[in-house]
Amino acid sequence: MTLGTWLALCIAVILAAEAVRVLRHRGLRQDRWRRFFRQRTTSWGLGMLLFLVIIAVAAPLVAPFDPSKQLDIVHLKNHAPSWTFLLGTDVFSRDVWSRLVFGARVSLGIGALGALVAVSLGTLVGAVAGYYQRWIDAVLMRGVDVGLALPRIFVLLMAVALWDGLPFPALVIVIGLTSWFGTSRLVRAEVLALRQRDFVAAARALGANTGRVIFRHVLPNAAAPIIVSAALSVGNVLLLEASLSFLGIGIKPPDASWGNMIADGAPSIYTALWSTLFPGLAISLVVMSLNAVADGVRDALDPHEEPA
């Protein structure tokens, strides 16, 4: 670690902390934001996520070494954490901290994009099924039943293992396509309840077309469960990607993802714990932060619920 990378790291921490502080401060004035920040874990989670996003974006500044460069396979293999190698080096003498930082791009990217695909598709299907009802609803929901009964890990394993070396965008789409079933049920239930409400009838009476009614009137009122489910899906997708990469069929080496870092480190876990420990901690930190933020969103957007 050089002075420059320490400096960049400090700036990232300060930026994240400051952003959370500003949001909290602003939040004091608005009821909704105050509820969002009511639990301390939400602030920590949000700060953590912001920090990770910042270092993922600014990866070249924060990482002292090239993530896939084998520095010195003879002398620096499985080097313990030190001031030069903050989190040690792995079995191929690559710097774990640099790989972690660049891996954040891949892992967070897959998590966010995969969840985006899943939640958009789930919302669309759920809204259409709930709004049109009748046979469209029946057909779509039977499809969702089948999707929920599909052993998802099998389908993913098949898709990823059989189409060998799936590129990043395809991986995102495949994961997204197998993760939307739960969301669509959730959204459908919301839409079924909302479409009976007077404001929907009013919008229709004013001559709004179906698309407008669904997207401008119904869905915004179903925002709470959609946002919560989006936050949770990011975590789920991230865990899925990690599992696939751990089994050796997700992100292909030498590119770093947190899952394949664990896979690389696992054989030498007895002698070089750090190369397995830190990527796993990173995954759990992200998932934990997302869960905490989801709790906050639930508190903020659902005023009916008693504070827990």
Partner 1 sequence: MTAATWLLRRLVASVGIIFAVVTFVFLLIHLAPGKPCTFGEQADPVVCKQLIQQFGLDQPILEQYWRYLVAWAHGNLGYSFSLHRPVLDAIAETLPFTLQLAGAALVIDFLLGLGLGIYQAARVNRLPDVVLSNVTLFIYSLPTFWLALLLLLVFGEKLGWFPVGGPNDVIFCPSVNSFYCVLDRLWHLVLPAATLGLVGAAGTARFQRAAMLEVAAQDYVRTARAKGLPERRVVLRHQLRNALLSFITRFGLAFPFLLTGAVLTETIYAWPGMGRLAFEAILTRDYPLVTATALIASTVVVAGNLLADILLGLADPRLRVRAGADIDVVTA
* Chain contacts with partner 1 (rule: CB under 8 A): 41, 142, 145-146, 148-155, 157-159, 161-164, 181-182, 185-186, 189, 229, 232, 235, 239, 242-243, 246-247, 259, 262, 266, 269-270, 273, 276-277, 280, 283-285, 287-288, 291-292, 306, 308
Least distance to partner 1, CB of residue 238, Å: 9
Q: Measuring CA to CA, which residue among 125, 112, 134, 100 is closest to residue 233?
A: 112
Q: How do the residues of the chain divide into helix, strand and coil, expressed in percent and rounded to 5? A: 75, 0, 25
Task: Pick the closer one to partner 1 by CB: 123 or 229.
Answer: 229
Task: Pick the closer one to partner 1 by CB: 88 or 259.
Answer: 259
Task: Pick the closer one to partner 1 by CB: 27 or 225.
Answer: 225
Least distance to partner 1, CB of residue 144, Å: 10
Cα 164 from Cα 304, distance rounded (Å): 49
Task: Pick the closer one to partner 1 by CB: 3 or 308.
Answer: 308
Sign of CA dihedral 265, 10, 110, 225: positive
Cα 104 from Cα 79, distance rounded (Å): 22
Least distance to partner 1, CB of residue 149, Å: 5
Residues pairing with 89 in the sheet: 95
The total number of residues written for the chain in this structure: 308
Least distance to partner 1, CB of residue 196, Å: 15
Q: In angstroms, what CA-CA distances link 171 with 68, 127, 238?
A: 21, 26, 12
Least distance to partner 1, CB of residue 50, Å: 18
